[in-house]
Structure 1
Amino acid sequence: MSIKEKVIALGFFDGVHLGHAALLRRTAEQAAARGVTPAVFTFDRPPKEVVTGIPCPLINSPEDRRDLVRRLYGIQEVIMVPFDQEMMTTSWADFVTKILVGRYHAVHLVAGHDHHFGHKNAGTPELLVKKCAELGLGCDIIPKVELGGITVSSTYIRRLVELGQLSRANLFLGHPHTLTGTVRHGRGIGSARLFPTANLVIPPHVLVPSHGVYVTRATLEDGSCYAAVTNVGTRPTVNNGADITLEACLLDYEGDLYGKKLRVEFFEHLRQEIRFDSLDALKAQIAADAASTRRYFQTHP
């Protein structure tokens, strides 16, 4: 079997935001110039969460991170490994020589200005540059990316998502906030008495946007897209305020979605989630939300 040499971008890439985009574009450029594979090395869960034991809700699931770097930036291979005891205790130098070069055949590495790696995060961008020079590898360190004087970071974007400020979050992401899930059976009220809806299973450890109703776009497994009104919250009118759900109403769609994967992209917050006195009142509001969603996509094609 032939060895596939790679240009490898290093990072966790939560959100796959504009800062990450600079790394990923450089990775694709260097790989094209060398005729090798553009790749990403990342972990299945945040190292900080493993070390501290404190849960860290994320912008994206591992599946969405993998999809975004491939779909948006042309990365061909995503090396997503468990952050286990081996990774936790490997020195920064061995991480470069034994894992990135020895195991994954890196010929060029790309990292961010604040990237730390290896045991106790002892590896720094400066050490990475020095080690790559010793090994005859190429190396790029990407400076921080700012937008409106604010450094683009996953931490800042997480806060925007939590607050429901999705249109602003998207500016820093460089793409719509994305959440992919499997459609499950709901209580049947949406499809039977209101509009056809898809109840999504929210991936574990993934941030749910602030409760409310959003302009979204839903993409099916076959690549077809539909404008959608998506409610995030407890559905107080029909569900007595129990359990957080993500319910997408696909406009102009007919068919069975149960058990299928659905990618939901968030564009704008429409309104807060409120309790209605009747299903008829709720239905009227959803019709108004659908009209608002259609207008949004007419003015933002």
Structure 2
Amino acid sequence: MSAKEKVIALGFFDGVHLGHAALLRRTVEEAARRGVASAVFTFDRPPKEVVTGIPCPLINSPQDRADLMRRLYGIQEVIMVPFDQEMMTTSWRDYITEILVKRHHAIHLVAGHDHHFGHKNQGSPELLMQTCAELGLGCDIIPKVELGGITVSSSYIRRLVELGQVERAHRYLGHPHTLTSTVRHGRGIGSSRLFPTANLVIPSHVLVPSHGVYVTRVTLPDGSAYPAVTNVGTRPTVDNGTDVTVEACLLDFDGDLYGETLRLEFFRHIRDEIRFDSLEALKSQIAADAETTRQAFLSGNLEGPPN
């Protein structure tokens, strides 16, 4: 078989949750059986946002989506294309024949039970199966995945993240909520008077959990990982501002992280963000949060989704 041939999973995959996991595992399994590459075909931004013009906050940046699919499920190639005017007006049939088959060498397609595609979303799972049969392609349509009687979906998980319910989000994602970002210079108060912190740039259109303090883990570019206390909010004690910041205090770390790209994973909500009367009171609370975080990791029950 040609090295270009691929088994391709179709979808937007925001969150890369347990419903997506079923598609991705099937894709990898079929690609291995056929001896070809496993791939995902997806878009750089939500088609709904382009069509309606209404911004759609997402669970993950495009880079995080691609990384999660590769790192957690072994997808070899993520084909992430712009959702532009040409793509928006492509008929459902041309989407299959011209783009997926001719351009990207698909020999087997995997999609979810609710996957629609092509101009005005006129393509359906039924049409996908029918057309694949006509063309001699393999095709799998993956049924919905439910957990606790709730259908696992990106929209449900977005709401959990917005509410700061990161433990419950973990359960439906199958992994901790993830934010990868670059460290920027803050005001220096964290490193000089409190604890060493990494002030992270929030990627455009990406959700952060509701304001509060979280048990998190930071992974550095070299693969080393550190427990961290992360504050999401406006830092009312030191800033009196309105800009939302994400600041991670790495425990037992010493070094300069400015300009580095870090992966931040949210495991547990500790407390709401509040204003303290002094920096000393804030420092004392951060020390308590740090101890809570250490104990959470020592307990060994953060690695898997909670029951």
Residue 70 (structure 1) aligns with: 70
Residue 85 (structure 1) aligns with: 85
| Helix, strand or coil at the partner of 1:238 | coil
The answer to whether the 8 Å contact 2:3/2:36 transfers is no
Q: Distance in 2 between matches of 1:4 and 1:297?
A: 43
> Which residue type is aligned with residue 71 of structure 1?
R
Task: Spell out the pairing of 1:146-225 with structure 2 (5 A cutoff).
Answer: 146-225=146-225
Residue 51 (structure 1) aligns with: 51
CA RMSD of aligned residues (A): 0.7
Residue 18 (structure 2) aligns with: 18
Residue 143 (structure 1) aligns with: 143
Shift of 1:300: 2.3
Residue 258 (structure 1) aligns with: 258
Task: Spell out the pairing of 1:275-290 with structure 2 (5 A cutoff).
Answer: 275-290=275-290
Residue 293 (structure 1) aligns with: 293
> Which residue type is aligned with residue 43 of structure 1?
F
> Which residue type is aligned with residue 107 of structure 1?
I
The answer to whether the 8 Å contact 1:39/1:77 transfers is yes
> Which residue type is aligned with residue 21 of structure 1?
A
> Which residue type is aligned with residue 82 of structure 2?
P
Q: Distance in 2 between matches of 1:118 and 1:168?
A: 34
The answer to whether the 8 Å contact 2:160/2:166 transfers is yes
| Helix, strand or coil at the partner of 1:21 | helix
Q: Distance in 1 between matches of 2:8 and 2:253?
A: 40
> Which residue type is aligned with residue 217 of structure 2?
R
Structure 2 residue runs without a partner (length 5+): 302-307
Residue 30 (structure 2) aligns with: 30
Q: Distance in 2 between matches of 1:242 and 1:151?
A: 35
The answer to whether the 8 Å contact 2:3/2:37 transfers is no
The answer to whether the 8 Å contact 2:89/2:118 transfers is yes
The answer to whether the 8 Å contact 2:162/2:207 transfers is yes
Residue 7 (structure 1) aligns with: 7
> Which residue type is aligned with residue 212 of structure 1?
G
Normalising by structure 1, what TM-score? 0.99
Shift of 1:3: 5.0
Shift of 1:208: 1.3
Residue 305 (structure 2) aligns with: none
Residue 129 (structure 1) aligns with: 129
Q: Distance in 1 between matches of 2:121 and 2:224?
A: 43
Residue 102 (structure 1) aligns with: 102
Counting matched residue pairs gives 300
Q: Distance in 1 between matches of 2:3 and 2:38?
A: 14
Residue 304 (structure 2) aligns with: none
Matched, 1:244 2:241: no
> Which residue type is aligned with residue 151 of structure 1?
T
1:165-195 CA distance string (max 9 Å, x none): 0000000000000000000000000000000
Q: Distance in 2 between matches of 1:116 and 1:217?
A: 36
| Helix, strand or coil at the partner of 2:21 | helix
Q: Distance in 2 between matches of 1:300 and 1:169?
A: 19
> Which residue type is aligned with residue 206 of structure 1?
V
> Which residue type is aligned with residue 212 of structure 2?
G
Q: List 4+ stretches of structure 1 deviating above 3 A.
A: none
> Which residue type is aligned with residue 213 of structure 2?
V
1:129-176 CA distance string (max 9 Å, x none): 000000000000000000000000000000000000000000000000
Shift of 1:241: 2.9
> Which residue type is aligned with residue 59 of structure 1?
I
> Which residue type is aligned with residue 92 of structure 1?
W
| Helix, strand or coil at the partner of 1:236 | coil
| Helix, strand or coil at the partner of 2:237 | helix
> Which residue type is aligned with residue 104 of structure 1?
H
The answer to whether the 8 Å contact 1:3/1:105 transfers is no
> Which residue type is aligned with residue 15 of structure 1?
G
Q: Distance in 1 between matches of 2:263 and 2:177?
A: 10
> Which residue type is aligned with residue 267 of structure 2?
F
Structure 1 residue runs without a partner (length 5+): none
1:194-233 CA distance string (max 9 Å, x none): 0000000000000111000000000001100000000000
